[in-house]
Structure 1
């Protein structure tokens, strides 16, 4: 195992009713929990571009990435790794969400902030705390 932190990113996408788009993780870290769509930043890829790419891969939608919402850190949440992740506000600009990677994700849904799933990821908690 490499002893250095890794970088990921996520996006807080809200619909016109103020509901947050979450996706259920099937892999570590935090397998089973519901979280923000996003993923690992590739070397040389700007975080905002990663958010656009990952969300297109995961949900088949196009987003416009806005300002930084918060920063999240996950330290050994089941995978023995340390993740640092910027979380951006984003807006859906094209497409309807659909499950594109069923081996990685158990589902997706729009949730009111006062009615989130019982098990949410660390980045989702960081976003809610920042709001």
Structure 2
């Protein structure tokens, strides 16, 4: 269920959101990051991912998110669960008037060398990064770097 902006603002202001992040790597050990268009983390390179919707199973959410972010509808059983993470942002999807708190379920996905996702409404572009570049770049968000430490 998607909410209108006013309802969603109330939710974001009042409670944590639950999401899935996708740590996508290829057979060469490169990792896929997208440059974020929207708040929070606007302008930073970030792993693909998305929120879990109310009444949506984890498997359904995983399929929807992988299709929407990567153009591949993947089953959650094909991924490796990395762990639970918390992301705290000083802003939210619409302003800097209140913060955002995410509880994130991170999954590792392996794709073929040369895989290119389509650009979506969350990212202006995608790029492949070596692990060392993920950790050293100031343009990669700290919440993404946490998956590689």
Which TM-score bucket, shorter chain as reference? 0.7 to 0.9
- 1:90-101 equivalent positions in 2, closer than 5 A: 90-92=109-111, 96-101=115-120
Q: How big is the shift at 1:112?
A: 0.5
TM-score when scaled to structure 1?
A: 0.82
TM-score when scaled to structure 2?
A: 0.73
**What value does the CA root-mean-square deviation take over the aligned residues?**
2.2
Structure with larger Rg: 2
Q: Which residue of 1 aligns with 2:19?
A: 8
Q: Which residue of 2 aligns with 1:75?
A: 88
What stretches of structure 2 of length at least 5 have no aligned partner?
A: 1-9, 93-98
- 1:44-123 equivalent positions in 2, closer than 5 A: 44-63=55-74, 65-79=78-92, 80-92=99-111, 96-101=115-120, 103-116=121-134, 117-123=137-143
User: Counterpart of 2:147 in 1: which secondary structure?
Assistant: helix
Report how many aligned residue pairs link the two structures: 127
Distance 1:97 1:48, change over 3 A: farther
Distance 1:123 1:72, change over 3 A: farther
Q: Provide the rounded CA distance (Å) in 2 between the counterparts of 1:50 and 1:36.
A: 16
What stretches of structure 1 of length at least 5 have no aligned partner?
A: none
User: Counterpart of 1:57 in 2: which secondary structure?
Assistant: helix
Q: Provide the rounded CA distance (Å) in 1 between the counterparts of 2:131 and 2:119.
A: 25
Is contact 1:5-1:82 (8 Å) kept?
yes
Is contact 1:9-1:85 (8 Å) kept?
yes
Q: Write the deviation string for residues 22-62 of structure 1: whole angstroms up to 9, x where unpaired.
A: 11111011111111111010122233442332121123124
